[in-house]
Amino acid sequence: MSFVKFLGIGSAVPEKILSNLDLEKMIDTSDEWILSRTGIAERRIVEPEVATSDLAYEASIKALEDASMDPEDIDGIVVGTITPDYIFPSTACVLQSLLGANNAFAFDVLAGCSGFIYALHVAKGLIQGGGSKNLLVVGAETVSKIMNYEDRTTCILFGDGAGAAVITTSDTPGILSSCLGANGDGGEFLYMPAGGSRMPTSEETLKNGSHFLRMEGKEVFKEAVKALQSSTLEAIKLADITPDDIDLLIPHQANYRIIEAVRKRLKLPEEKVFSNLDRYGNTSSASVPIALDEAVKSSRLKRGDIVVFSAFGAGFTWGASVVRWQ
């Protein structure tokens, strides 16, 4: 069986900044409350005419350039997103058309904030199964489009962005392990009630805001801490390494208190945990690949290092992956 490695990485965030001070003018909150409870100072928000595929396109072009590849070299595109351009066709198909990736199959993965880790796991399997060589794996979101900016318990948390990676076959191990998990019983704690077959969009759903994201923050928080800790430990065990071998942990950027709980459980020093939460908030599926791109560009992650990704999201879903960075 062949190994799989990362060949290129890229990310894109909108220019427009929504700061805590801006939010103070919109809802009953304060910069101090948001910073101390979440670690978030600002987030990026797209303009109304920008869709998820537009950010995915920008990030993908950068990842392809980084990999020295043309869109035609890509065999398949897997996009993790909870904010697709449409319910159908998939955002991956929209992206395939934008890129002119004429030799690629394309599909979306819907796994909440674990979308990129799920997409990576699936793409790795497709390569190791022998059917594919070069795959584009993307996490892209415009969470602002499903946000109720009158709900202070959710709108302070999320932002928009995209990250993309080209992965390919390798003679030496790159992705050392990955594992996924889910617990559908947690679905009611983080979801968007309307717009699907259970509750199609109607005048009523628009009136009561059922097409916005809803979350029971406390329930999500507890489960996030547990699942991030256990899945990270599972991926480490599968890769046959110990926490001491980790050079950098890139956790899902949801809340610094969640990240701290995972860091302490793994007994990692602060400098071994990457965070850009203060600048982007929670960008859902895009959070891990944006952080990965920044870690590489800022030389926090170097060739030969062991990096661990872990994520948790709506579903509930979770997943982790250990990679030797090449």
Residue given tokens 């995972």 in the structure block: 262
Please say which residue, 308 or 314, places its beta carbon nearer to ligand ACO.
314
Q: Is 252 a catalytic residue?
A: yes
Tell me which of 10, 80, 84, 112 binds ligand ACO, using CB under 6 A: 112
Please say which residue, 133 or 257, places its beta carbon nearer to ligand ACO.
257
Show Cβ contacts of residue 50 under 8 Å, excluding neighbours closer than 6 positions: 14, 142
Q: Quick one: 1 exposed, middle or buried, by C-beta within 10 A (0-12, 13-18, 19+)? A: exposed
Tell me which of 153, 170, 205, 326 binds ligand ACO, using CB under 6 A: 153
- Residue from 20, 93, 155, 252 carrying the catalytic annotation: 252
Q: Is 155 a catalytic residue?
A: no
Selection from 296, 177, 299 nearest residue 245 by Cα: 177
Tell me which of 19, 33, 50, 98 binds ligand ACO, using CB under 6 A: 33
Site string for ligand ACO, 158-177 (x = CB under 6 A): --------------------
Answer whether 219's CB lies under 8 Å from 265's CB. Answer: no
Show Cβ contacts of residue 230 under 8 Å, excluding neighbours closer than 6 positions: none
Report how many residues bind ligand ACO under the rule CB under 6 A.
24
Tell me which of 8, 313, 319, 324 binds ligand ACO, using CB under 6 A: 313
Tell me which of 90, 282, 310, 321 binds ligand ACO, using CB under 6 A: 282
Residues between 8 and 27 that touch ligand ACO (CB under 6 A): none
Selection from 124, 128, 72 nearest residue 101 by Cα: 72
| Minimum distance, C-beta of residue 228 to ligand ACO, in the bound complex (Å) | 10
The CB-nearest residue to ligand ACO is 313
Selection from 107, 115, 100 nearest residue 60 by Cα: 100
Q: How far from 35 is each of 21, 138, 255, 277, CA to CA, in Å?
A: 11, 29, 10, 10
Site string for ligand ACO, 209-228 (x = CB under 6 A): ------x-xx-xx--x----
Residues between 246 and 265 that touch ligand ACO (CB under 6 A): 254-255
Answer whether 147's CB lies under 8 Å from 44's CB. Answer: no
Calculate the CA dihedral of residues 19, 20, 23, 25 and round it to 10 degrees.
-100
Cα 217 to Cα 257: distance, rounded to the nearest angstrom: 13
Selection from 294, 297, 311 nearest residue 259 by Cα: 311
Cα 78 to Cα 57: distance, rounded to the nearest angstrom: 13
Residues between 58 and 97 that touch ligand ACO (CB under 6 A): none
Please say which residue, 116 or 312, places its beta carbon nearer to ligand ACO.
312
Q: Is 211 a catalytic residue?
A: no
Please say which residue, 6 or 309, places its beta carbon nearer to ligand ACO.
309
- Residue from 113, 121, 134, 179 carrying the catalytic annotation: 113
Q: Which residues bind to ligand ACO, rule: CB under 6 A?
A: 29, 33-34, 37-38, 112-113, 152-153, 156, 190, 215, 217-218, 220-221, 224, 254-255, 282, 284, 312-314
Positions marked active-site = 113, 252, 282
